[in-house]
Amino acid sequence: MRNSSRAPAGRPIDDRRTPRASQNVTASVVQRLEDLVFGEFEPGAELPSESDLAAQLGVSRLTVREATKALQARGLVDIRQGRRPVVAHPNAGPIGDFFTAAVRRDPRRLMDLLEVRRALETHIVSLAATNAGRAAISAMEMALGAMRAAGDDVPTFHEADIHFHESLAVGAGNQMLSFLIEALEAPLRAGRMRSLGGHLARGGTIDDVIEQHAAILERIKAQDAKGAAEAMGAHLEQTARDLKAALMLTDPSIGDAPVTGTT
């Protein structure tokens, strides 16, 4: 069990005050605290007090405070008023924030994000066909049932759709893949809303989308990894055409670009 009160080892850091030296000192303290977070503490444990860290590292409390805020910005520690910093549990937020900002700045990046989905999810379904247990498959079945029950309630349909894909990632049995799908939830939600609008505008129906998900689940339950990947590929190709149609409503120039991965 890791020690929850151990201070960072090593020689004190020279806390000089020229601007360049100050930046270097803060970067060194960030590195030492990062080593402490990953090497000595479990998520949920408190770091030593600001004054203890400053004494151990031979720097000012202000430098420790700046370094701690840098770790907070990276999602490594949680800081609350009146308490010591706490080692954060793994958090997908920073990754999701990057992709969310990218697609908000330029909605055309949703097409790029769809290629990220293609790379991740065709592999995920292959793994799920091999690794998914009864609980994960039941979660997929429940999500598919919720999609059917949503009817014309589009927000409820999207929530069920998200749960279906999250259950796929859990069923794959790879925590990092599940983490990435969780991280991409917000930008993927934006893409799904756009693509469904494009699908309906092109004369498709919600039932079409549901049946694509049903085909994926059928292949997973049959433990057919290749078939599951093909079903996901077909679903994402349809999604690409729908998303392109939706984006063309506001930017007709998108129509000049090919839909990657389709024939």
**Could you tell me the fold of the domain covering 19-87?**
Arc Repressor Mutant, subunit A (1.10.10)
Give the per-residue pLDDT at 20: 55
pTM for the predicted model, two decimal places = 0.71
> Cβ–Cβ contacts within 10 Å for residue 193, how many?
15
pLDDT > 90 fraction of the chain, expressed in percent and rounded = 54
Q: Which residue has the tokens 């590929």?
A: 233
Q: Give mean pLDDT, residues 87-103.
A: 82
Range with the largest mean pLDDT of 17-26, 82-91, 130-139: 130-139
199 pLDDT higher than 50 = yes
Q: Give mean pLDDT, residues 210-238.
A: 97
At 131, list the tokens: 């690794």
**Residue 35, C-beta contacts closer than 8 angstroms, at least 6 positions apart:** 8
Give the per-residue pLDDT at 10: 54
How confident is the prediction for the chain on average, in pLDDT?
A: 86
Q: Which comes out higher in pLDDT, residue 257 or 57?
A: 57
The backbone region for 46, taken as left when phi is positive above 0, alpha when psi lies in -120 to 50, beta otherwise, is beta
* CATH 1.10.10.10-classified regions of the chain: 19-87
Q: What CATH class is the domain 93-256?
A: mainly alpha
258 pLDDT higher than 60 = no
15 pLDDT higher than 80 = no
263 pLDDT higher than 50 = no
Q: Give mean pLDDT, residues 153-162.
A: 92
Cβ 200 vs Cβ 251: under 8 Å: no
pLDDT band at 261 (very low <50, low <70, confident <90, very high): very low
Instruction: Give Cα 64 to chain centroid, integer Å.
Output: 30
Q: How many CA atoms lie within 13 A of 242 on its CB side?
A: 24
Sign of CA dihedral 151, 155, 161, 166: negative
* CATH 1.20.120.530-classified regions of the chain: 93-256
Q: Give mean pLDDT, residues 150-179.
A: 93
